[in-house]
Amino acid sequence: MSNIVIIGTQWGDEGKGKIVDLLAEDADIVVRFQGGNNAGHTLVVNGEQTICHVIPSGTLQGKTCFIGNGVVVDPAVLIEELDYLSSKGIDVGPDRVKISERAHVIMPYHKQLDLAREKKKGDKKIGTTGRGIGPCYEDKATRRGIRFVELLDPEVFSEKVKSILEEKNFYLENYLSVEKVDPDSVITQYNRFAQRLAPHVANISVEITEAIKAGKQVLFEGAQGTHLDIDHGTYPYVTSSNTVSANACCGSGIGPKYITGVNGIVKAYTTRVGKGPFPTELFDEVGKSIQKKGAEFGATTGRKRRCGWLDTVIVRNAVRLNGLTGLIITKMDVLCGLETIKICTGYECNGEILDDFPADLKILAACKPIYESLPGWSEDISKIRKIGDLPRNAIEYLNRIVELTQTPINIISVGPGREETIVVKNPFI
């Protein structure tokens, strides 16, 4: 029996949703373990697109989906997503979608704080998604957060909201110069959310562990990417949770002994939304054409994604940080038509070659990517289903990724559709 973690190796939007939906066929349970509705995971099945922000990408395969304790949940967004999936005829009833009683709740003041702080920072902003993610994790760490278990207890909830808002409102009004939040209207609104979501709330840790012991297979779906990790990413231009594979255990309440494999998704080039360092970013026509061909717009905020060449320094970093057992390469079809494809093999910094990804953003800013050029291909590869049928140059590009990362490739994605995929080795088998 296998329990697999799927993680983004870059700065998010690597195609986790597509791959999790595909692999969910072999899973019994799909679990999100961190992040919140800052994520936007796109699934394309029979030509129809579905975007999920907080519900794991296993619903279209009819699988049970769990939202772990490590996730921060905006109940309004979750309810909207339940209704959206339900309107598509997908079963998202309380037996299918369960939320950990320990997951923290995103409150209206979290969103207000996120947006107002970003505005105040001006040029120095992080470029957050404005969904209240950072302020919610901040309250979790400082023990002022509200978990689902408290949301479901009207008395405790009301008391908490009132006392928290004394401090938050002072800060919102006097420091950030934005409107205060009215506790009574928040309490009324969230009591309604609680009633609607109560049947979905469960002890996820117990349910996953029991399922694993009964021989079920679990797929853990990461959000964001390794270089947006709060500890290991390009701090402070990161999100507020640990995005690396180890958090699959912490964020869902299971022991590491149950994880049998970790697959890292690598987009065949690199993208980033929001601010922060990006050594292989392209500012020329090639970058623009990748952005256009890859339809690189944020699935959550609609912002244009910054585009650049594949950076194997960061992929190697992701191999180490996540203990990757395999790679999944996505969006290979987007590179078709380029005469030459560049791949970054290392960084040069003040005359020295760097082997490791630097923590110091000043050093990172001084790094110049060292590129290798490989010949491209012009054939449309989106209908190819066997690796051997790919153009020779595409195979050489993939082989070079394997050499540079010392990690095997399990899957190659050649289009957004579930079927537009070459499975070299199913990670579940």
Per CB under 5 A, residues contacting Mg ion are 13, 40, 299
Contacts of 247 (CB under 8 A, 6+ apart): 33, 34, 70, 241
Cα separation values, 414 from 25, 225, 276, Å: 19, 20, 29
**Catalytic (active site) residue 200:** no
Could you tell me the smallest distance in angstroms from the CB atom of residue 270 to ligand IMO? 12
Q: In angstroms, rounded to a whole number, what is the distance separating the alpha carbons of residues 284 and 290?
A: 10
Residue 133 near ligand IMO by CB under 6 A: yes
Residue with tokens 């040069």: 348
Contacts of 321 (CB under 8 A, 6+ apart): 226, 229, 232, 244, 245
Q: Which does 330 bind (CB under 5 to 8 A by kind): ligand GDP, ligand IMO, Mg ion, none?
A: ligand GDP
Q: In angstroms, rounded to a whole number, what is the distance separating the alpha carbons of residues 70 and 241?
A: 8
Give the residue with the Cβ less far from Mg ion, 19 or 286.
19
Could you tell me the smallest distance in angstroms from the CB atom of residue 396 to ligand GDP? 19
For ligand IMO, the binding residue among 75, 251, 253, 274 (CB under 6 A) is: 274
Cα separation values, 316 from 267, 280, 289, 295, Å: 14, 15, 26, 26
Residue 313 near ligand IMO by CB under 6 A: no
Residue 343 near ligand IMO by CB under 6 A: no
Give the residue with the Cβ less far from ligand GDP, 207 or 221.
221
Q: In angstroms, rounded to a whole number, what is the distance separating the alpha carbons of residues 130 and 13?
A: 17
Cα separation values, 424 from 130, 260, 261, 327, 382, Å: 39, 18, 16, 11, 16
Q: Which does 308 bind (CB under 5 to 8 A by kind): ligand GDP, ligand IMO, Mg ion, none?
A: none
**Catalytic (active site) residue 53:** no
Could you tell me the smallest distance in angstroms from the CB atom of residue 309 to Mg ion? 20
Give the residue with the Cβ less far from ligand GDP, 28 or 333.
333
User: Between residue 17 and residue 46, which ones bind ligand IMO under the rule CB under 6 A?
Assistant: 38-41
Q: Which candidate in 13, 28, 74, 311 is catalytic?
A: 13
Residue 67 near ligand IMO by CB under 6 A: no
Residue 139 near ligand IMO by CB under 6 A: no
Among 35, 1, 68, residue whose Cα is nearest residue 261: 1
Q: Which does 239 bind (CB under 5 to 8 A by kind): Mg ion, ligand IMO, ligand GDP, none?
A: ligand IMO
DSSP 116-165: HHHHHHGGG-----SSSHHHHHHHHHTT---BHHHHT-HHHHHHHHHHHH
The backbone region for 276, taken as left when phi is positive above 0, alpha when psi lies in -120 to 50, beta otherwise, is: left
Residue 40 near ligand GDP by CB under 6 A: yes
Cα separation values, 347 from 56, 175, 238, 265, 306, Å: 36, 41, 21, 22, 20
Residue 421 near ligand IMO by CB under 6 A: no
Cα separation values, 349 from 281, 316, 346, 369, Å: 16, 18, 10, 9
Q: Which candidate in 21, 26, 28, 41 is catalytic?
A: 41
For ligand GDP, what does the binding mask look like between residues 268 and 297, x meaning CB under 6 A? ---------------------------x--
Give the residue with the Cβ less far from ligand IMO, 235 or 371.
235
By annotation, the residues acting in catalysis are: 13, 41
Site for ligand IMO, rule CB under 6 A? 8, 11-13, 38-41, 126-129, 131, 133-134, 223-225, 228, 239-240, 273-274, 299
Site for ligand GDP, rule CB under 6 A? 8, 12-18, 39-42, 44, 295, 299, 330-331, 333-334, 413-416
